[in-house]
Chains A and B, each alone.
Chain A
Amino acid sequence: MSGKGVEYWRWSEYRLTVPNVKLEKAKVITAGIDVGSVSSKAVVMVNGEIYAVAVMRTGSSSPDSAKKVLDWALEGTGLKPSDINYIVGTGYGRVNVPMANSTLTEIACHARGANYIWGPTVRTILDVGGQDIKAIKCDEKGRVLSFLMNDKCAAGTGRGMEVLADLLKIPIEEMGAASLKVDEEPDPVSCTCVAFARTEAISLLRRGWSKEKVLASYMRAMAIRMCHLLERVGCEKDLVITGGQSKNIGIVSRVEEITGLKTLPPPNWRENGRDPMAAGAIGAALFAKALYEKNQNKA
């Protein structure tokens, strides 16, 4: 049920080819491969534009997942991995992408990808994963200025949300909407520690609080923690949220309210491939182009 390999908001594996991108005009073909603990993503770019994307579950072997997701992205395009001029690998922990020419940190790739997806106005990125939260500050070119990751404490992570979903027996995708069904926003739970908050939630239910009110109280506390981390790196517009929690309107609306910033909505990625979930792979593919061109200039 829980642990590694659990998706906190349902997503489906997919691949797509972006229409209207002409392979014949390709001067540089690059790829970015991002192998995460839960999902693996590959993005293929032609002259720095997204051409093909694939997103799938990470298997038990990182190198295998890297190969599989790249092959899947190339499916139907007529391209082979050897046609790619430069590949950058990235991802969680010790990255193992054997076909990569270089490996870069996921933070740098994520920020660069967010800049590509949403444009040069993005300055603050809140990335909420299953077991960690990242706050990233970047400039107009998507370069990381400031970075903070919290993976010590479950408060605000997808796993922390799942704890309440289990307790209240509400499907995780419905938690957000349910938390907004309150007449008046209650105070946040007094404990940010999820283990203690869980106990507090039980006593609130005993006191006659509705599930929706308990959820609102809990989500508020979690949103406060997220905003606290954002404040550390300096929260500036435009703000975007990536990761599983980006689909949790209970969190998104509260983060917007606390920071006073409207988050940029996700673009129509099914058409143009700009899937926020693939931000790391997009950034990696862009870095691949830059590194390839740098090498060409040296030669």
Chain B
Amino acid sequence: MTVVAGIDMGVQNIKVVLLRDGEILSHGLAPSGFEPEKAARQALQEALEKARISLSDIKHVAATGVGVELAPMVNSKVSIVSADAMAAVYLFPSARTVIDVGAEESRVIRCDGKGNVLDFALNERCAAGAGAFLEAMARALEVRLEEMGELSLKAKGTASISATCVIFGESDVVSLIHKQEPKYEIARAIYDALAERIASMIHRVGLEPDVMLVGGVARDVGFTTALKRKLETEILIPKYPELAGALGAALCAMERVGGSRR
């Protein structure tokens, strides 16, 4: 019995996935806050408790994510791009284009059937193409982010906002509110803007079906609807999209202790 762990040191949340003999055993999550290392231990503890095993049972810990340098108890590191690709084909063997929208960074990855990375594009150091865009817009619109998705589904798409910058987008939202545009239309405009940004990124690597979406933002029905509309294709979304990075790191850990990928 071989247990391995993958830790994804995300900007907002640390995610942990435990694998036993190649099957998902348990997972944990903790907000990164100001002490990501502490949060990582917390998330790991949660996963261990759920699995009813102890730290000493883990043969190998691999870490990934934006904050990977801060990961504790690490045996090896994996790039987030590689982790995403491995997790993608594990969950959906037909996945060939993986979109990962994180809190502050986004990636689009083209992979083969074995989860090898063929090409990728990053959106970094600019809040416009990541989850931060939605958070800022929700604040400007004065709705809760958790409710903005459902709200946007009512809209026909009569409004549009700047897609290239969070700050200009916020101004646009305020302008639209002054012009008495209904909130649900503005909400849709927000998701359309983010979807447009992501679609431009995909252009960089080319879209090959099947397309898969991971990352916390994949839970947002407003975004998934807007993205499907923009790409004009079906999108595969796993049950726990935010765990993809940690799962991929764990799969990598398994390879490194001599196991093979499923």
Contacts and interface: CB of A to CB of B under 8 A. Distances in A.
Given A153-B164, A160-B167, A196-B104, A3 B125 contact: no
Interface in B32-72: none
A3 B127 contact: no
B84 interface: no
Given A3-B172, A4-B175, A154 B132 contact: no
Contact of B174 (A1, A153, A193, A194): A1
B153 interface: no
A2 interface: yes
A1 B132 CA distance: 22
A155 to B, nearest CB: 9
Contact of A131 (B125, B132, B168, B178): B168
Interface string A167-200: 0000000000000000000000001111110000
Contacts of B104: 196
A159 interface: yes
Contacts of A261: none
Interface in A36-66: none
B73 interface: no
Interface in A110-157: 131, 152-154, 157
16 contacts: A2-B171, A2-B174, A3-B171, A3-B174, A4-B171, A4-B175, A131-B171, A153-B164, A159-B167, A159-B168, A163-B167, A191-B125, A193-B125, A193-B126, A195-B166, A196-B127
B122 interface: no
A160 B164 CA distance: 14
Contacts of A192: 125
A159 B173 CA distance: 14
A111 to B, nearest CB: 26
Contacts of A191: 125
B145 to A, nearest CB: 15
Interface string A205-248: 00000000000000000000000000000000000000000000
Contacts of A159: 167-168, 171
A149 to B, nearest CB: 13
Chain B's interface: helix, strand, loop or mixed, by majority? helix
Interface in A1-59: 1-4
A167 to B, nearest CB: 12
A193 B126 CA distance: 6
B175 A152 contact: no
Contacts of B178: 3
Interface residues of B, number: 19
A73 to B, nearest CB: 29
Contacts of A131: 168, 171
B165 interface: yes
B124 to A, nearest CB: 10
B170 interface: yes
A113 B256 CA distance: 67
B136 interface: yes
Nearest to A5: B175
A196 B175 contact: no
A207 to B, nearest CB: 10
A159 B170 CA distance: 10
A152 B125 contact: no
A211 to B, nearest CB: 20
B171 A194 contact: no
A16 to B, nearest CB: 32
Contact of B166 (A3, A157, A194): A194
A92 to B, nearest CB: 15
Given A2-B171, A153-B164, 4 more contacts: A4-B171, A154-B166, A154-B167, A196-B125
Contacts of A194: 165-167
A195 B136 contact: yes
A163 B127 CA distance: 15
A153 B175 contact: no
A4 B178 CA distance: 10
Contacts of B168: 131, 154, 159
The 7 closest A-B pairs by CB, nearest first: A154-B167, A195-B127, A3-B175, A195-B166, A3-B171, A3-B174, A152-B164
Contacts of A154: 165-168
A4 to B, nearest CB: 6
A3 B176 CA distance: 9
Interface in B112-165: 125-128, 132-133, 136, 164-165
Interface string B167-191: 1101110110010000000000000
A196 B132 contact: yes
B75 to A, nearest CB: 30
Contacts of B167: 154, 157, 159-160, 163, 194-195
